[in-house]
Structure 1
Amino acid sequence: MTTNPAWRVTTARLRLEPVNWADRDDLIALKTDPRAFAMMLGGVRTPEQATAELAEDIAAWGAQGFGIWTIRGQSTNAFLGITGLADRPDGRGIALRFALWPEVRGAGLAREAASAALRYGHDRVSLPRIIAVSRADNFASRTVLGAIGMTESGSFSRNGVQMLVYESLGAAKF
C-alpha cells in the first residue's frame, strides 16, 4: 500500500510512517506485550484486536488525513513503537498517543515522536485542540506530555484509576 507522502514525518532521529499492513507483525508484537501496552487505553491486546485496530487506523488516514504512525529509526529502520492522533472512544476529542519498546525508552525518542505528531496535528491538519490522557501514576508519560508543551486541563476516574487530561491548543489562524 502506498501512502500520501504528505503524511510522512521525519525528525533528527526518527521516521514516522502511517501504519500499513506490512507493519502488522511489529504492531502485534508491541500491542500484545504488557511492558509496552499495559498502561494504554484498553490495555494489552490480542493479536486479533491488534489486527482489527490496524484496519481501523489505515481507514482513519484515508478518512481524516491523520492517524497512527510507526516510529522507526532514521538510520536503522528499526521499529521502535507508535505515535499518532486518534479520536478517543469516550468523546473527549482527538488524542495524542504513543507507546515505545521499553528498551528504547529514556533517550528522548517518545518526546521527539510525540512532539512531531502534535505539530503535525496543529500545523498540517489544523486541529485546534489535541488532548492526551495519562494515568496519574504514569510519570514517564506525564513528563513527555509536559516536555512537548501540553498542559494539564482536567481529570477523571476510570475503573478506580485517576486519569489526567492534558491539552494543546493550536495557534489561532487569522
Structure 2
Amino acid sequence: MDGLARVESPHAVRTPRLVLRPVGPGHLADLVALKGDEAAFGLMLHGTRSPAQARQDLEDDMAFWAVRGYGTWAVHLAESEAFLGIVALSERPDGRGVALRFALWPHTRGKGYAREAARAAVEFGHRQAGLPRIIAVAREDNRASRGVLEDLGLRCAGEFPRDGHRMLVYESLRPPAPPAQQGEG
C-alpha cells in the first residue's frame, strides 16, 4: 500500500478477516499470476489464462461491474492487504444464470477464506444486487469447492456433463422478505 488513505468502492465488502474490492487496474499483476497458476485456476471454467487473457478478463470484469453493479472482487486479507484470490458473481456463458465463482491461492486453503469470501458475495448478490437466484457449478470430484457451497447452504439443483466430468449445479435462492408489519387501527 502506498500510505495514502484508500477510498473504498461502494461495492467493497468487509468481513471479519477479509476485504473484497471490485477488481480494477491495480489488480492486474495479481490477476495475471493467479489466473496463470494451474493449482489456483486450473479447475475454473476456462482453465488457466495467459497474461493477455487475464488482461482482457479484467477489462471485461470492470465493464460488467459498471453495467450490473456486481461482478468480480479481489479478496484481500484485511490486516495485511495481502491478495488471496478472487470471488465473483458473473453470468455463465451457457445461460444457466448468475454464478458464484471463487479461486484463491493454494497456500491460503484450509483457513476458511473461500467460505468467508463466498458467503459475503452471495449475501451481496441477494441483498444489494437483488439477485433472486445465484448458482455455482463444481465438478463432482472437487470436494473442497462442493464443501464450501454446501456449508453456505447452497443446494444441489442439477447436473450436466462437461469434458468427461459430471458437473453439479448448486443454487441459492434469495430468502423471502419478512412479512410487512401491520399497524393496529
The structure with the greater share of residues assigned to helix is 1
Same fold (TM over 0.5): yes
Corresponding residue for residue 95 of structure 1: 99
The normalised TM-score by structure 2 is: 0.91
Corresponding residue for residue 131 of structure 1: 135
- Structure 1 position 160, deviation (Å): 1.1
- Picking from 33, 37, 54, the partner of 2:37 is 33
Q: Is the 8 A contact 1:3 1:18 kept in 2?
A: no
1:170 is the counterpart of 2:177 = no
Distance 1:110 1:172 in 2: 26
Looking at CA atoms only, which structure, 1 or 2, has the larger radius of gyration? 2
Distance 2:166 2:52 in 1: 29
- Structure 1 position 172, deviation (Å): 2.6
The normalised TM-score by structure 1 is: 0.96
> Identity of aligned pairs, percent?
51
Query: Which digits, 9 at most, give the CA deviation of each residue in 1:59-104, with x for residues without a partner?
Result: 0110000000000000000000000100000000000000000000
Residue 113 of structure 1 aligns to a residue whose secondary structure is helix
1:111 is the counterpart of 2:115 = yes
1:74 is the counterpart of 2:64 = no
Corresponding residue for residue 165 of structure 2: 161
- After TM superposition, the runs of 4+ consecutive aligned structure 1 residues lying more than 4 A away are none
Corresponding residue for residue 54 of structure 1: 58
Distance 1:98 1:114 in 2: 7
Q: CA RMSD in A?
A: 1.3
Distance 2:43 2:82 in 1: 23
Residue 10 of structure 2 aligns to a residue whose secondary structure is helix
- Structure 1 position 4, deviation (Å): 7.2
Residue 122 of structure 1 aligns to a residue whose secondary structure is helix
Equivalences, count: 173
Q: Mark the runs of 5 or more structure 1 residues left unpaired by the alignment.
A: none
Corresponding residue for residue 45 of structure 1: 49
Q: Mark the runs of 5 or more structure 2 residues left unpaired by the alignment.
A: 1-5, 180-185
Corresponding residue for residue 14 of structure 2: 10
